[in-house]
A and B are shown apart, each in its own frame.
Chain A
Amino acid sequence: MTLELVLLPAAALFAVGLYGALTQQSVVMLMMGLELMLGGVVLAAAAVWHHVAPVAEGQVLIVFAVTAMAVEMAVGFAVVTALFRAREIDTTDDAAKLRG
């Protein structure tokens, strides 16, 4: 498994996630796009750790990305819950105005 063979799927994951994050109206589907993007980052960081520099800092970078995934998901769900409870909306277009 060469470095390029792993980096290409990672780039594809990132691009597909970006497409989802930009196109989806549903907040939950938007979060799915962000998860895919961070999944690509995790995969690329693991590949670079294995093939280029197997130092501890590479693993710490993966821990950082995984933590970002968890934080994004938790805060995202909490925001969706708050939005739905306040105004019964679940799409980004409806939530464009912060007040109203």
Chain B
Amino acid sequence: MVFRFDSMARATYALLLALLCVGVDVLLLGLDYLGVVVVLMMTIEMALMAAFMVMFMMNPAGLAPMSMTHNRRGAALLSAVVFVALAAGALLTPWPSRRGDVPPDPTRQLGRSLMGGQMLTMMVLGLALFATIVASVVLATRRGRYDRFGDDLRGRPAEPAARGGLPR
């Protein structure tokens, strides 16, 4: 339904429903902590996405039917091929029987791993998130002083922009 709604807001809530189902599935598979993380993160992400829809996108409420797509036939063909390949892999692969038992506390298993053998992964993820914060702020802010004054912030433009508007 995500890509069939005219309304982008409805598409956002359909996506939220799909990802909440993913979170519930993860919970049912025994991963309590990660399931809750997925549910909470997707809820906040979709709320932000709805806000961005209203801010930037045309037709957020779907009042005027419209289509903003391209290359639908090729994409449908490629997606169908990918689905058939993945489904065939899932159904035809001789999956091995489970090695070991599910730990009684998967959250403890994850925490001990991230603070132990997988510490490097945790550090890389932390750095990536920090870089994301910096990059997002840099991209989303207006022109800064370096754009106006160049590398040397002590200097000033030779010809400042002429003042407009009515004389004071």
Which residues of A does B touch, CB under 8 Å? 1, 3-4, 6-16, 18-20, 22-26, 28-29, 31-33, 35-36, 39-40, 42-43, 46-47, 49-57, 59-60, 62-64, 66-67, 69-71, 73-75, 77-82, 84-85, 90-91, 93
Contact = CB atoms under 8 A, between A and B. Distances in A.
Interface in B20-73: 22, 25-26, 28-31, 34, 37-38, 41, 45, 48-49, 52-53, 56-58, 68-72
A28 B49 CA distance: 8
B149 interface: no
Given A25-B68, A29-B68, A56 B113 contact: yes
Counting chain B CB atoms within 10 Å of each CB, the highest count among A64, A77, A79, A93 belongs to: A77
Interface of B: 2-3, 8, 11-12, 15, 18-19, 22, 25-26, 28-31, 34, 37-38, 41, 45, 48-49, 52-53, 56-58, 68-72, 74-76, 78-80, 82-83, 86-87, 90-91, 95-96, 98-103, 106, 109-110, 112-114, 117-118, 121, 125, 128-129, 132-133, 135-140, 142
A64 B87 contact: no
If over half of B's interface residues share one DSSP class (helix, strand or loop), that class is named, otherwise mixed; here it is helix
Nearest to A5: B90
A6 B29 contact: yes
Given A18-B78, A24-B68, A42-B22, A66 B38 contact: yes
Contact of A85 (B15, B80, B138, B142): B142
A77 B112 contact: no
